[in-house]
Structure 1
Amino acid sequence: MAGVLDSVNQRTQLVGQNRLELLLFSLGGRQLYGINVFKVKEVLQCPHLSEIPKRNPVVRGVAHIRGGTIPIMDMSQATGAGRLDNLENCFVIITEYNRSTQGFLVSSVERIVNMNWSSIHPPPKGAGKENYLTAVTEVDGRLVEIIDVEKILAEVSPRPQNVSAEVIRDVDSTKSVNKHVLIVDDSTIARKQIQKVIESMGVQTTVLKNGQEALGFLNDLLREGKDPYKELLMVISDIEMPEMDGYTFTAEVRANPKLNRLHVILHTSLSGVFNEAMVKKVGADDFLAKFHPDELAKRVRDRIQEAAGQNA
């Protein structure tokens, strides 16, 4: 256990070739869960929690850690199970998502495993739309469920979803560009958020769940005799995705002469520990941390205006 707690911060710098490290944890039962170490800032024994008035029931309180006040959410309760008891025996995983820091209360922390994204798979189709899974994998013969943290955060602490009217107004004069946007993200809530922003601007979308699906879609366009650059205004891709991550997807696009002109934005909740050098290495055009509707809309607006100029 001490090795896990001591090494998390150092391991957050991992960026590999379609690889990731998972911190395994439990929520009181035998089921194992995983979270990408890249999102983890620290793991610690549950500190004293101070209650706050009118809080969401999932927020068990706030903790004062290293000079900051951090909300602590009960991961078990957030996913529809019961509240965790015996807080003094629990652990808190401090994470950074979407430019904010929060802690997740868990029953125990197991270990860190190094895996390939090709071993991470989308949740079973029979899991239902309301599940909190973004992916599943297997470690030592045991199923590991990877929780859709963005869905939890959207429910516990919803953020504005709409684009400012002035940004949309700026797009009106350039709607003549007849292209659509390819959205690639494994999180159900993230896909809906991005799609809502883009379609509010009068732009059509195609939505896929991971880099492998997206690469297959692009290759299908090529087989149909279509030019993806002429079909697509841009690609907005998450980084963390099962089967093929956003880094590998972007590198594959850039390596293909028939795809390499595509405009690719990596749009991810990996904000605080994001490696800018890796974006340059794989050849992405831009990086944007989730989720700010106006910032995303401005990126789309700028690309529309650029494409309109190219077509003029």
Structure 2
Amino acid sequence: MTSILDSVDSRTRLVGENRLELLIFQLGTRQLFAINVFKVREVLKVPHLNQMPGSHPKICGVATIRGNAIPVIDMRQSVGMRPLEKDQDANLIVTEYNRSIQAFLVGKVVYIKNMGWNEIMEPPSTGRGNYLTAIAKLEHENEHKLVEIIDVEKVLAEIVSYDIGISEEVLDQDLSHHLMGRKVLVVDDSSTARKQVTETLKQLGIECIEMKNGAHALNLLKSWCDEGKKVTDEILLMITDAEMPEMDGYKLTSEVRADSRMSNLYVALNTSLSGSFNEAMVEKVGCDRFVSKFQPDLLVDVVQTRMREALEQK
């Protein structure tokens, strides 16, 4: 447990400064791409890949890594490009997303870059922008280049179908009429993740207000306060992603907690990361709940728990 808390302290200092580390790589061209280092387990040269007959066309095989069979996804194909040529420099990035381990086949891995979220911008809405959560500018080989940050959740959602069905035994019928018409603020830079949350909560009669990053969400919350509105009257709770352009979910939470006008807002961190590390992290930065993404039953449990608390406070 000590090692976990030490790691949390280190990571909290990073996110507390609204920063992240990007693993930057290429896909057989000079264009730079990136994913958050926090999701990366290891990078290695491509081992032998066993073919999987009948598998999704973007899965190029299965690699045995440290005794585990891990599916390998062709990242070039996943963002709308042709498959990587066999003779090109290729690597595997082994990652953990949504409680599962998968590897991505990429080209050259360039380096790790520490950046501020305020240096990262929203992507264009056309072309390959559909597969991006953000873009960033940096200097590479004496040139100023754009780095495209891939929406891995969208990539995975096109390969693995995520269910938004709610189990009957999870639903509390006594709360159903209280939830009808309530509003929840959903903050996430991934359109895929926002859709999963909104489609799940819509089944409870909840209306979702969607924001693409923490800065936009904070501006909305502050505008309500400036108008003399009580934030907890406007929304039942806020569900936020951790990693977003301009302002991440940890910084957003700390800003909410620091403002006495909205410090009692219920905040749930909805992230594709999982495990005891993140639960400790959430507690440290002041969130009320941690929910690993794409688990509709857990989302419903969070909302119902918050609704019960709100009724008890009346």
Q: Give TM-score, length-normalised by structure 1.
A: 0.91
Q: Which position in structure 1 is the counterpart of 2:134? A: 135
1:208 to partner: Cα distance: 0.4
Runs of 4+ in 1 over 6 A off after TM superposition: none
1:306 aligned partner: 309
2:290 maps to 1:291: no
Structure 1 window deviating more from structure 2 (23-32 vs 157-166): it is: 157-166
Code of the aligned partner of 2:232: Y
Q: Aligned letter for 1:25?
A: F
Distance 1:65 1:273 in 2: 23
Residue 175 of structure 1 aligns to a residue whose secondary structure is: helix
Question: Counterparts in 2 of 1:1-312, with a 5 A limit?
Answer: 14-15=11-12, 16=14, 17-86=17-86, 89-124=89-124, 126-127=125-126, 131-140=130-139, 141-168=144-171, 170=173, 172-175=175-178, 179-272=182-275, 274-311=277-314
For structure 1, which runs of at least 5 residues remain unmatched after alignment?
A: 1-9
Contact 2:98-2:294 at 8 Å conserved across structures: yes
SS state at 1:96 partner: strand
> Quick one: distance in 2 between partners of 1:279 and 1:94?
24
Q: Could you tell me which runs of 5 or more consecutive residues in structure 2 were left unpaired when the two chains were aligned.
A: 1-6
Name the counterpart of 2:4.
none
Q: Are the equivalent residues in 1 in contact too, given 2:94–2:104 (CA < 8 A)?
A: yes
Instruction: Report Cα offsets for 1:71-117 as digits up to 9, x if no partner.
Output: 00000001110011226831000000000000000011000010011
Aligned counterparts of 2:178 and 2:249: Cα–Cα separation in 1: 28
Cα offset for 1:302? 1.5
Are 1:171 and 1:301, in contact at CA under 8 Å, matched by a contact in 2? no
Deviations 1:30-70 (A, max 9, x none): 11001100000000001100011210000000000001110
Tell whether the 8 Å contact from 2:201 to 2:300 is kept in structure 1 after alignment: yes
Q: How many pairs were matched up?
A: 300
| 1:159 counterpart letter in structure 2 | Y
Q: 2 CA distance for matches of 1:150 and 1:21?
A: 18
Q: Which moved more, 1:82-91 or 1:270-279?
A: 270-279
Aligned letter for 1:189? T
User: Deviations 1:271-306 (Å, cap 9, x if unpaired)?
Assistant: 148444432232111111112111111111111222
What is the CA–CA distance in structure 2 between the aligned matches of 1:248 and 1:113, rounded to whole Å?
20
Q: Using a 3 Å threshold, how does the CA distance of structure 1 residues 192 and 177 change in structure 2: closer, same or farther?
A: closer
Instruction: Give the SS at the match of 1:222.
Output: helix
Bigger shift: residues 297-306 or 32-41 = 297-306
How far apart are the structure 2 equivalents of 1:87 and 1:153? 26
Q: Which amino acid aligns with 2:313?
A: Q
For 2:26, the aligned partner's letter is S
What is the CA–CA distance in structure 2 between the aligned matches of 1:227 and 1:91, rounded to whole Å?
51
Change (3 A) 1:272 1:70: farther
Give the Cα–Cα distance (whole angstroms) in 2 for the partners of residues 55 and 176 of structure 1: 41
Q: Distance in 2 between matches of 1:176 and 1:143?
A: 44
Distance 2:59 2:153 in 1: 15
Q: Which letter does structure 2 place at the counterpart of 1:195?
A: T
Confirm or deny: 8 A CA contact 2:182 2:205 kept in the other structure.
no
Is the Cα–Cα contact under 8 Å of residues 45 and 89 in structure 1 kept in the other structure?
Answer: no
TM-score by length of 2: 0.90
- 2:176 and 2:204 in contact (8 A); partners too: no
CA RMSD of superposed structures (Å):
2.1
Give the conservation status (yes or no) of the 8 Å contact 2:175–2:307: no
| Deviation of 1:264 (Å) | 0.2
SS in structure 2 opposite 1:82? coil
Closer/same/farther in 2, CA of residues 120 and 107 from structure 1, 3 Å limit: same
**One-letter identity of the residue aligned with 1:271:** S
